[in-house]
Structure 1
């Protein structure tokens, strides 16, 4: 019996086997995709002038509802109204490898009177070397009394003062940027502080603006920055708990976080596996 005959005789057997396998596969449920591990986010908070006890909960719960993130929180320093609240130096920053093991750092701190250049440059270096960051509100005014520019370059914005609390109309200045997709054309943010722009650094992309009442010009209040290898999302918005609890704000910060960590798609949606852990 030659090879051609053997192959011909084998076709019915192969066909039957194929039908059996197809039937078996049709009955098996599709395999469940393996969800990636949550992004490990270190939140640094504390200092002057804000309700950080409440804000650390607002942010950790609100962002976890919108992105696959897991928070470690370091909250240090005197109370926001206590003496020397602006002078505290977060202890983890004393280590050269302070950001090791984290996928992203969320800065929500207010230590404007710290002037130790080496200490500040150590903070910035982690981001220059590639650890992404989210910079919220008074983080922009932190370390502003120092002579080094590294923190300001890392932020992407230089600001030394802010206007008094007032209703702020925020304009979407870059609606095609993934972070700003889903952000309204205009958003009225009640009772927040407009941080006056002294300088917008060269690698900063303005995403949102608000017109100043004292310094009458458009000020960058939402932005994206590249600092060395690090991607930075920042906003000076978020003075009050009411602002931070607003879904518009939390949605914005969640997109900014995912963008900085390279987990946001071009349409402003979390990449597969990085969606929120609970329903909004």
Structure 2
């Protein structure tokens, strides 16, 4: 019984000692986060807000353009700060408190928190979304005409007046049946349609390829993109579509331009990949 009593006194003494720590304390551990011991279960609870400043900088800053990323990264960067890039999806990530170089530390392995980051998730432009969104999708002549009219400024070859004429002729054919298609010497195709079997055939000339000038990313410089025109006629109906030529290479080139800008203006070599 005496031993049991002594054990209870020891437990009470331990609890009393814990309760005496109820005021905010600064952790002796490396993270330095302040904590209190709360009576319910006597567990440690982090209370950063009782001090004037957090124990260390942390968080994720999300920015919308390269200039903003450069400004923020340069304001916060340290010798250990690194930048990573990935293309799918397009993203630039700066880790302000990345691991330190092993050669620069006298003790330990240079491990750091990697908890303070700045991100530029490079957004695709509206034009890029429109043209890649309809790539290789079969359209009827009216849908194709609307696509041309709505995005006429993006087409640089053939010129705007030629493409507008194509769109208007396609709209005029909405009540007719397509009866044939013939490729001309210049590479374009003549689509022949009739409103009835006895009518004279009407023709719509369509180039075999168009050239776009569109930005790949928001606020980016326009890039040339080639698109081949394809078609199929069946039972009097025309299905027409376009196929972008190697759009992945256009995307890579535009991303590399942003990469080079950030690398130059931050004086930091960008690594291809991402930290875990």
Same fold (TM over 0.5): no
Indicate the structure with greater strand content: 2
Q: TM-score band (shorter)?
A: under 0.3
Per the normalisation by structure 2, the TM-score is 0.23
Per chain length, whose mean CA-contact separation is higher, i.e. which structure has more relative contact order (CA < 8 Å, sep 6+)? Answer: 1
